[in-house]
Amino acid sequence: MPRFRRSHKAPTESGSHLIDPPVDAIEPLIDNNRLLRAAFDTRVGDLKLWELIAATRREILVVSAEYTSSYHDVLRPADMADWIKRPIVMGGHQPDLFHPGVWLKNFVLDAYAQAVGGTAINLVVDTDRCSRWSVGVPVGTAEEAGLQTIELDAPCGEMAWEERGILDQERFASFGERVTDMLAPIVPDPILRSWWPRVVERAAASHRLGLAIAQARHGLEREWGLDTLELPVSELMRLPTVMVLSGWLLTQTRRLHDIYNDALSRYRREHRTRGRGRPMPDLAARPGGDGEGTWFEIPWWIWSKQDPRRRRVFAHTDTSGHLLLSDMETLRVELPISPDTSPAKWVDALSRLDEHDVRLRPRAIMTTLIARLLVADVFVHGIGGAAYDEITDAVVVGLTGCEPPRHAVVSGTLRLPTDLSGRPDAELADIHRQLRDIEFHPERYLAAVSADGEAATLAHEKQRWIDTHPTRALAKRRCQAIRSANDSLASYTKPLREKLLSRVGPLARAARAHSLLESREYPWCFFSEDRLRRFLLLESS
């Protein structure tokens, strides 16, 4: 594993940030990454990797500017050569309603880029799975809050964000008002009310749930002064230079399969992770039929527009210089991709997949591998992505023998502005401790209740038995006598026990409410604009 592994945890205090490295220290990291990437002399087709990097930077700047300009004005630098030379700072996330700590990455992306005179590009990871179309909304009061699930759109089958359209226009359009009304007792002025109409407007143009959210969110960022570009990963994968790298990786099918699994194995050993499915399953191998030989799983997803479920991809190299890809269910395609075919054929073959409504998209680790190798002078991760990119680093080393560029890590914590006082969970735990103590040591509480001489006699008798050595002959009798004394003393401590029990229900509800409202996972649009701007470093506190 690379020597520069770092460990990060989310900040615990509301309003706090994790920015590693700090904005004023980003330039040395970028300079170091450029030196590391200059050492990549691996041949990708008929190009050295560093030559492919230079070509990709031109493509992604142009295409990102074109994509962003489809919904917002973009001022492109007049000197293209100078633009390509400037640092590119990149990050990415799914086009979801993510929490403020994730959104902070976009603002730090811009700050990093501004610090070095570069360009910030945020990848909209629309190739990830859209597994939910609802959000949990806190309702009620701070003392007895609950969580209610509110749908953005009608439910549908599992698919990538890239394919997820909007099924119920009325439900989608009313989401902002419905959630704002429910939030009112806890957050009276969420930015959701004024922002959601922008999402509805972008949905009419993009016809995609994820892109509508992402474009409306990006439009707000630019109004707040950010100068970032955006690009969906689905569009990134259509760039010819990215297809060249993808084609080269596909020619390394068996080698990539083994390097990937070895990286996972090393990660589990170093982190003492149990279970073959954590942090993700190994790539599998399956025997083929009719003497085909073994099919090796590769870290991509495949699906078709007719059946948009993301499925695992298995590859097989036949003797004729073609690559066979299959989901081992219904899809099977043959591509002229091999070490002996030209990169132009790789690009043509991968382009034709999209033309025939078949999607071949990289998994998360391969997405960041492509972004970090081909584009970003520094890639900005959240805490989860940074942890998993240890695996990406090991794959890069295995494929190229070179140390990969290093990444930055950004996260933050912002909690709902509720007036929570005390620690009901601690109080509840203390009451449970007292109830247990009253059950087994009632004599300790006789001074706090109306106890008579008989109670004192019972306590004295119990203590005599406790002080008696538990020989084999006396052990059973001793235990029964102590229990009998406890049972008799319980009648004296009953009022105290009932008083404590009466507090358990309210405290349990308050503890649940406290835990619910303390979550850092609520969408950023549940917060007020002022609170967000302070958290996102746009205004001083």
Average of per-residue pLDDT across 282-301? 88
Please list, in sequence order, all residues whose beta carbon lies within 8 angstroms of the beta carbon of residue 294, skipping any fewer than 6 positions away: 285, 286, 287, 288, 316
In this predicted structure, the answer to whether residue 64 has a pLDDT above a threshold of 60 is yes
Pick the closest to residue 346 from 90, 52, 67, 41 (CA basis): 52
pLDDT of 541 over the 80 cut? no
Percent of the chain with pLDDT over 90: 61
Cβ-defined contacts of 478-482 (< 8 Å, 24+): none
pLDDT of residue 540: 45
Which residues does residue 303 pair with via DSSP β-bridges, in sequence order?
Answer: 359
| pLDDT above 80 (res 318) | no
CA–CA distance, 302 with 308 (Å, rounded to integer): 9
pLDDT of residue 384: 84
403-418 pLDDT per residue, tens: 889 999 999 999 988 7
Nearest of 78, 82, 168 to residue 118 by alpha carbon: 82
pLDDT of residue 217: 98
- What are the angstrom distances between the C-alpha of 288 and each of 251, 296, 300, 326, 330? 19, 10, 19, 11, 14
Q: Are 146 and 138 in contact (CB under 8 A)?
A: yes
pLDDT at residue 231, rounded to an integer: 98
Q: What is the mean pLDDT of residues 288-313?
A: 90
What value, to the nearest 5°, has the Cα angle with vertex 506 and ends 504 and 511?
90
Token pair for 298: 């590769």
Q: Report CA dihedral (137, 143, 144, 149) to the nearest 10 degrees.
A: 10
Q: Which two tokens stand for residue 500?
A: 């404590």
What count of other Cβ atoms lies within 10 Å of the Cβ of residue 442? 27
- 């700072």: which residue's tokens? 89
The pLDDT, as a whole number, for residue 6 is 60
Cβ contact 459:485 at 8 Å: yes
SS3 per-residue string spanning 515-534: HHHCCCCCCHHHCCHHHHHH
Give whole-number Cα distances, 320 to 67, 252, 297, 340, in Å. Answer: 39, 16, 20, 10
pLDDT for 433 equals: 92
pLDDT of residue 505: 81
Q: Which residues pair with 119 in a beta bridge?
A: 88
pLDDT for res 466: 87
- Whole-number Cα distances in Å, 94 to 17, 291, 352, 399: 21, 41, 26, 27
What one-character-per-residue DSSP string does 327-382 give?
A: -SSS-EEEE--STTS-HHHHHHHHHHHHHTTEEEEE-HHHHHHHHHHHT-SEEEE-
> Average model confidence (pLDDT) for the chain?
90
Q: Establish whether the linkage from the previous residue to 417 is cis, with ω within 30° of 0.
A: no
Go through the domains of the chain in sequence order and give each one's CATH number. 16-129+228-244+362-418+529-535 (3.40.50), 245-360 (no CATH), 424-517 (no CATH)
Contacts of range 217-225, beta carbons closer than 8 Å, 24 or more positions apart: 217/103, 218/68, 218/71, 218/72, 218/122, 219/71, 219/72, 220/195, 221/106, 221/107, 221/110, 222/72, 224/533, 224/536, 224/538, 225/538
Predicted pLDDT of residue 427: 85
Q: Given pLDDT bands bounded at 50, 70 and 90, which one contains residue 285?
A: very high
Band the pLDDT of 291: cuts 50, 70, 90: low
Q: Rg for the chain (alpha carbons), in Å?
A: 30
Asked if 18 contacts 412 with a C-beta cutoff of 8 angstroms, the reply is: yes
Range among 46-50, 152-156, 447-451, 501-505 with highest mean pLDDT value: 152-156
d(CA 94, CA 74): 23
**pLDDT classification of 146: cutoffs 50, 70, 90:** confident
Residue 1 has pLDDT above 50, yes or no: no
DSSP for 234-297, written as a single string: HHHTTSHHHHHHHHHHHHTHHHHHHHHHHHHHHHHHHHT--STTSSSPPPPEEEPSTT--EEEE
Give the span between the Cα atoms of 343 and 241, in whole angstroms: 9
CA distance 364 to 299: 9
Higher pLDDT, 472 or 534: 534
Query: Left (φ > 0), alpha (ψ -120 to 50) or beta: where does 475 sit?
Result: alpha
Per-residue pLDDT, averaged over 357-386, amounts to 93
Give the model's pLDDT for residue 257.
96
pLDDT band per the 50, 70, 90 thresholds, residue 539? low
Q: Are the CB atoms for 82 and 271 separated by under 8 Å?
A: no
Question: Is the omega angle on the peptide bond into residue 185 within 30 degrees of 0, that is, cis?
Answer: no
